[in-house]
Structure 1
């Protein structure tokens, strides 16, 4: 997946479409799976409800 799919640009504002990893910080996005969000760098997992 390319970086352009992580952001939405409208006019002069930029919106992030994915969450950042709380452990790794800015710049490392969480991957969206069917039932969880996962960081590929540190392995952090957050289950969806």
Structure 2
């Protein structure tokens, strides 16, 4: 995915379409999988319910 796919512009506001990693902080997004979200930098995994 390109960086532009992680953001959505609504009027004058910029919205993030993916969650950020709680360990790495701002600027590192979690990858969306069918059953989980993962961070490619630190390996943090969050399972979807």
User: How would you bin the TM-score normalised by the shorter chain?
Assistant: over 0.9
Q: Deviations over 1:15-46 (max 9, x none)?
A: 10000000000000000000000000000000
Mark the runs of 5 or more structure 1 residues left unpaired by the alignment: none
Superposition TM-score, scaled by structure 2 size: 0.97
Query: In the alignment, which residue of structure 1 is the partner of 2:38?
Result: 38
Q: Secondary structure at the match of 1:18?
A: coil
Mark the runs of 5 or more structure 2 residues left unpaired by the alignment: none
RMSD value, Cα: 0.4
Within 5 A, what are the aligned runs for 1:1-49? 1-49=1-49
Superposition TM-score, scaled by structure 1 size: 0.97
